[in-house]
Structure 1
């Protein structure tokens, strides 16, 4: 029947020209930018995916296959737009950080008046006023005030951090309760937030080794596809088959499978307060099977705490022994004195200052307490023979023990030690669950190190080490075929950190140097972030492998379909774009939050609010 319309191009009649014209117009509109991009790539000697699509579309037009030409260009253009939109989602962590950057600040003048200024108008040393619900505009030190600050953008912590006089605060964080007066120190580009943004930006653009390989592969693969399609076309004398092969062999999903995973993985880590230097370090972190950690300040709190109070004279109670010891230590400048005083205060004991005391070099202190001479220290401060068994037993456990005596008579023993961090056991167990061996390397005494290692279940303990010994340990482990991560403070551990496959800095929020130099920087001083970082790296690498497998499988299926006669150019392009979006979608799963916060979070918030109210 004259006038029937067949938009596939196999029709005839007066309306044929109208349908063909519309399809050709659609091809030109959808394909203009594709051809333009292909030409721009050729100018820099790059044979791009756009060139494959351009050749296929132009060939289809020459063959009079209007529908295929329009469908291929339209699907490729739509797929490109969706790809760009979803890729932008993977960079959301970076855009969130940029959006968090403050623009103005309330300056507190010497006369007590306030004024709102742009950040660039502030100078280091200015006093900034931050009210409840406002954003902290600068890095600085709290001069006065008290409040809870939400530091999630910096450290990834969901629990507000308690801030008081001499506390550090960071630009981009939010004051959730209280009022703070802050001395400005880091302003604008000098702030920790700016350094994090710079670091994440560089890291997301940094290429992993597998990504570099894939890009080199595509440089040969894409022109190889063109040559192969031409050869097949000449052999089979089937131009449409050759053009279809160009479309289905597009390596889009293969090329994008790795970078989109890296961007998503690094972005998720940044939102959780873990800065990873780049794709190469992300891949290496996924292979880590041994972690070397320092003891002091890493597995332990890095400061002495009261651990034991033993009563030797039944006339006195534990609290009485501790109170007398703490009161005597109020006159001491010894580093262990503060641990005893704080231990007494933690038990709500009344620790009054003494009026007179006599430090005894190398032995301890004697003080006048309510008319009695109270001694805290070695047995030399006491009269007569004393049983040293309790002291020796505590010393074997790595603790520093001291006698407490009244008027020359031993009434008890107090002991202090650098105690294990509350989250250390959780972190070690999590590392073991990931198949990672933990080696503790410390300069501390063997007895101390052995006790800490036994309590935490550490696999191997090396003690009484010099900094160069830690370097040797890392090298030995690497020589045995291990991928080694080193966690240290970046000072005496610098040689080992530099040699390890991955150098990790903890509590890096207050250290711009650590943010810039560490392969992995944990912004919060929390050990469980260490296994989390390795776990996220492993998830990211698994995602990369899954995406590569999907991309290769898709191309294989399409090739089989083409030679079986079941796949046309338009179907091939539809499946190709679907595989690209699937690869991106799988990578975006990495953006889901998986970090578990402490169950005591709500309680801590309530405690901060109570202190502010008080």
Structure 2
């Protein structure tokens, strides 16, 4: 119905114009002008009611003037072409919002919920937190929640932009609007409907696409004075030359349509494309700021590194002891500890297929490590102080120099080996840092970790600017210092301690924001996937969008200038002027739509063999 209402009058007017030419009946031109001109006149009147001189008013004045001088063809052509251009503009502009439409369409309507152990189909709005939802292979997940039982591959492209299905099992987090491509899951609902991550993303994209960039705000103020200026200029030209048709033609070609649409259509397209790639940009202002970023301040733990310590090294120090036996006794003893490094050693044993022995008794020693009775033998894991035979510190120090947190392992008073635990550098981190450097963006690491640890990570990733042992207020001062040097600073972090610096930075970026509505709401840019290499793409997209805005503004201004020159040189009529004007609007939209093309190809994550760094533990052996 809306399509008929939009295109019906335009089609009828075009038909009447064709018949008028064929039958030489000018009055049909008047009818055609009235059919397409009436909605334009209504729009112009509505704008005047709020004291705004719109483009529609210029078209109405020009068409009425053409009628007065009996130039019926020009009147019909101007209104017909303007209406046709507007209809095409709306149709093509709506395509730039396709990403948002796809997100909205991704929201599921129904769910299979377990009631008294039996599956029942209900509307999603009927669900409540705590409900257990059954999701079968090929079905859409209707809620944000945790997997209770089952396993399978979930396509999370609508949320994170990831092309490959994510493996889910007991305890995994899942999101509404994603698809189960294999397996069977039982999910406990946590967030439903408007509270889900998908709904939060849709809300944020809606706001962002309507948000105005600084350039757009300036152009709107400019056009506010530009349009009345065109009317005054056309009036003066008519009075000076005593040529009413010249004045009316100037009114038509002076329409700033392409100028006004050039920026918002670029913003909508750029933000829409980023949303499809799993990147949420808060609005036009932040998109422009992101395009100017030349310095990135980045936290280390959880951002450049995974934030999860793992067992990396096992060094036998006594004859008759191999790596597996050392890991077996160390992991068995650590089952009595609650320290995070203990979990890394236990997990390392499991990864190596080493069975853990039952612990008869465990005694954690604050600041030193742990002693435990394992299968009747006294085992100690920790600093040299826990060992009875005063071991040579050289092996431990050597591991520390390589960025490991190292601990001695002793059995029945004899030091048998050393184990090393380390955080892991993200497999994509080095590639992301290199990509940022290639774009002229300097990466500055800001961490609360020790200088030796930070330097190790910096050397691993090729980061030369390393600031270590920083408190939250120090990170804030670092951002302020860089801004005082005239830099445009982006801050990338994932912790509460980064919040002050994120707020002060020109652009605050949150990584791994999927499942965290708070991060989506507060960050200027939110990378939905927990991947650092999304950031160079986000900044690239911002630069492309701003570049598109500038190209479109140039096209709009040059078109008007050439048409004005053509009018005074002769040969540019009202009809031709309106045709070129509307063509320039469509060209501007078409150029902006190029932003919708997918340009991002996700590189596979391949973990390098040597990508370990020390954890942020101030004491190298507090296990």
1:288 aligns with 2:293: yes
Residue 354, structure 1, aligned to residue 325, structure 2: no
Residue 27 (structure 1) aligns with: 33
Q: Tell whether the 8 Å contact from 1:108 to 1:128 is kept in structure 2 after alignment.
A: yes
The answer for unaligned runs of 5 or more in structure 1 is 1-13, 602-614
Cα deviation for residue 379 of structure 1 reads 2.3
Aligned counterpart for 2:211 among listed residues 206, 227, 231: 206
Q: Which residue of 403, 410, 417 maps to 1:412?
A: 417
Looking at structure 1, the residues matched to 354 and 260 of structure 2 have their Cα atoms a distance apart, in angstroms, of: 69
Shift of 1:566: 2.0
Q: How far, CA to CA, are the matches of 1:369 and 1:321 in structure 2?
A: 12
Please list the CA deviations of residues 566-585 of structure 1 after superposition, one character each: whole Å capped at 9, or x if unmatched.
21111111111111001000
- Tell me whether 1:160 sits opposite 2:165 in the alignment: yes
Q: Does structure 1 retain, via aligned residues, the 8 Å contact 2:328–2:357?
A: no
Shift of 1:23: 1.6
Equivalences for 1:181-196 in 2 at 5 Å?
A: 181-196=186-201
Task: Give the C-alpha shift of residue 76 in structure 1.
Answer: 1.0
Contact 1:341 1:351 in 2 (8 A): no
What secondary structure is seen at the aligned counterpart in 2 of 1:297?
coil
Cα distance in structure 2, aligned partners of 1:367 and 1:470: 41
Partners of 1:558 and 1:510 in 2: CA distance: 53
2: CA distance, partners of 1:512 / 1:360: 39
Task: Quote the offset at 1:149 in angstroms.
Answer: 1.2
Counterpart Cα distance in 2 of 1:272 and 1:505? 15
Q: CA deviation at 1:541?
A: 0.4
Query: For residues 158 and 384 of structure 1, what CA distance do their matches in structure 2 show?
Result: 55
Structure 1 residue 16, shift from structure 2 partner: 10
Q: 2:549 aligns with which of 533, 541, 544?
A: 544
- Pick aligned residue for 1:50 from 47, 50, 56: 56
When structure 1 is superposed on structure 2, of 141-150 and 208-217 the one drifting more is 141-150
Aligned to 2:73: 67
For 1:342, the equivalent position in structure 2 comes to: 347
Computed over aligned residues only, the root mean square deviation of the Cα atoms, in angstroms, reads: 1.9
Say which SS state the counterpart of residue 481 (structure 1) adopts.
Answer: coil
Q: For 1:296, what is the secondary structure of its paired residue? A: coil
The alpha-carbon deviation at position 310 of structure 1 amounts to 2.1
Equivalents in 2 of 1:260, 1:196: separation in Å? Answer: 20
TM-score by length of 1: 0.92
Q: Say yes or no: does 1:169 pair with 2:174.
A: yes
> Aligned pair 1:124/2:124, yes or no?
no
After superposition, the C-alpha distances for 1:486-519 in whole angstroms (9 at most, x for unaligned) are 1123511221111111111111112111111111
Taking a change above 3 Å as real, the CA distance of residues 513 and 599 of structure 1, as seen in their structure-2 partners, is closer
Instruction: State whether residues 428 and 605 of structure 2, in contact with CA within 8 Å, keep that contact through their aligned partners in structure 1.
Output: no
Quote how far apart the aligned CAs of 1:396 are: 2.8
Give the distance between the partners of 1:414 and 1:284, measured in 2 at CA: 47
Provide the secondary structure at the position in 2 that maps to 1:540.
helix
Three-state SS of the structure 1 residue aligned to 2:476 is helix
The alignment partner of 2:315 has SS state of: strand
CA contact (8 A) 1:506 1:526 kept: yes
Cα deviation, residue 225, structure 1: 0.3
Q: State yes or no: 1:494 paired with 2:482.
A: no
- Map of 2:89 onto structure 1: 83
C-alpha contact 1:141 1:167 (8 A) present in aligned 2: yes
Counterpart for residue 103 of structure 1? 109
SS at match of 1:510: coil
Note if contact 1:357-1:365 (Cα within 8 Å) is conserved in structure 2.
Answer: no
Q: How far apart, in 2, do the equivalents of 1:351 and 1:330 lie?
A: 12
For 1:159 and 1:84, locate their aligned partners in 2 and report how far apart those are by CA, in whole Å.
35
Residues 216-259 of structure 1, C-alpha deviation per residue, up to 9 Å, x if partnerless? 10010001001100100111111111111111111111111000
Distance 1:42 1:525 in 2: 50
Aligned equivalents of 1:353 and 1:314: distance in 2?
22
* CA–CA distance in structure 1, aligned partners of residues 232 and 542 of structure 2: 38
Is residue 448 of structure 2 the alignment partner of residue 439 of structure 1? no
Give me the TM-score of the superposition, normalised by structure 2.
Answer: 0.91
Conserved 8 A contact 2:311-2:345: yes
* Cα distance between partner residues in 2 of 1:418 and 1:178: 32
1:470 aligns with 2:475: yes
Shift of 1:92: 0.8
Structure-2 residue corresponding to 1:604: none
The aligned residue for residue 279 of structure 1 is 284
CA distance in 2, matches of 1:501, 1:59: 51
Q: What residue ranges of structure 2 are gaps of 5+ in the alignment?
A: 1-19, 607-623
Q: Separation in 1 of the partners of 2:292 and 2:74?
A: 46
| Post-superposition CA distance 1:268-298 (Å, at most 9, x none) | 1111111111111111111111111111111
Structure 1 CA distance for aligned equivalents of residues 287 and 381 of structure 2:
52
* 2:615 match: none
Asked if 1 retains the 8 angstrom alpha-carbon contact of 2:329 and 2:357, the reply is no
Residues 1:261 and 2:266 aligned together:
yes
1:568 aligns with 2:573: yes
**Cα gap change, 1:360 to 1:80, in 2 (>3 Å):** closer
